[in-house]
Amino acid sequence: MRYEGRKMKKSQFVSLVAIFAALNVVCDSIAGISVFEYGVWWSWIFLIVPLTGIVLGPYMGFLSTFIGVMIGHFIYFRGTPEFLFAVGAPVGAMVSGFLFEGKWKTVFVYYTVLFVAYFTTPIAWQLPVWGMWDTYLAYVCLLVISMLVMRSQWKLESRRFPCVVMCAFIGLEADILFRIFLLVPCRTYWLIYGWPVEALQLAWALGAAVTPVQVAISTLVTAVVGSPLIKVVRETGLFRKLTPKSVETYG
């Protein structure tokens, strides 16, 4: 009887991962509206990324999102280089998952390393500093959260709305930061796209206006859907397995 119970939970877990992978495929296969043309995401994948990481956890969230964007990119083909940049989506899901589990130190290291890599790249100083204002804001939020956690004034896993909002926002910006890392420190802007500095500067200015709108939409959707969905998943008995560190005090 115990074995059957464990087997059922395992099948439910696999089903949940598959469901989220399918949702990621659908979102990544639908082209974004024309006003989002110059944003980081060409599709609607940004809507589901943080929710996948929060519900499934960092590792399964990464896997589910990775499967989704790889299949989605074949359905809605945006060019071979975009398969590389698509890895930012599963990274964003993983960061949201880590933060929701209270592993803010891991997220802090990730942000710090990628910021250092960016600002030590010579070409970065020719780009508008304000062009990454939303990633700076995410880093500031992360610093504030870390200080509150260390002072025992904040428990990430115990506050539904603030927790989900912060996990979604910081995870989405982690996705953006990863793509920036590929584009600038890894020099794919030149090696793959052959962009001159002027083209990169234009992309920075346009992205600074469009991408935060996408982030805001996704954060709102995650905040509205996240808490009820987490409650439902908890009632299945899977939440302990998915996010063992947070289930004890959540809610």
132 with 184: CB under 8 angstroms? no
- pLDDT (0 to 100) of residue 12: 74
Residues composing the chain = 251
pLDDT band at 92 (very low <50, low <70, confident <90, very high): very high
Query: What proportion of the chain, given as a percentage, has pLDDT over 90?
Result: 63
Q: What pLDDT score was predicted for residue 61?
A: 95
* CB atoms closer than 10 angstroms to residue 92: 31
Give the tens place of pLDDT for each residue, 117-133: 999 999 999 999 999 99
Distance between CA atoms of 141 and 107, rounded to whole angstroms?
Answer: 12
pLDDT on residue 123: 94
Residue 125 burial by Cβ neighbours in a 10 Å radius (0-12, 13-18, 19+)? exposed
pLDDT at 247 over 70: no
Range of weakest confidence among 70-84, 131-145, 230-244: 230-244
Q: Packing angle between helix 197-235 and helix 160-183, nearest 10 degrees?
A: 150
At 242 the pLDDT is: 53
Report the C-alpha gap between 11 and 16 in whole angstroms: 9
Res 90: pLDDT? 98
Return the structure tokens found at 121.
């790249």
Mean pLDDT rounded to a whole number for the chain: 86
Read off the amino acid at residue 1: M
Print the SS3 string covering the chain: CHHHHHHHHHHHHHHHHHHHHHHHHHHHHCECCHHHCCCCCCECHHHCHHHHHHHHCHHHHHHHHHHHHHHHHHHCCCCCHHHHHCCHHHHHHHHHHHHHCCCHHHHHHHHHHHHHHHHCCHHHHHCCHHHHHHHHHHHHHHHHHHHHHHCCCCCHHHCHHHHHHHHHHHHHHHHHHHHHHHHCCCCHHHHCCCCCHHHHHHHHHHHHHHHHHHHHHHHHHHHHHHHHHHHHHHHCCCHHHHCCCCCCCCC
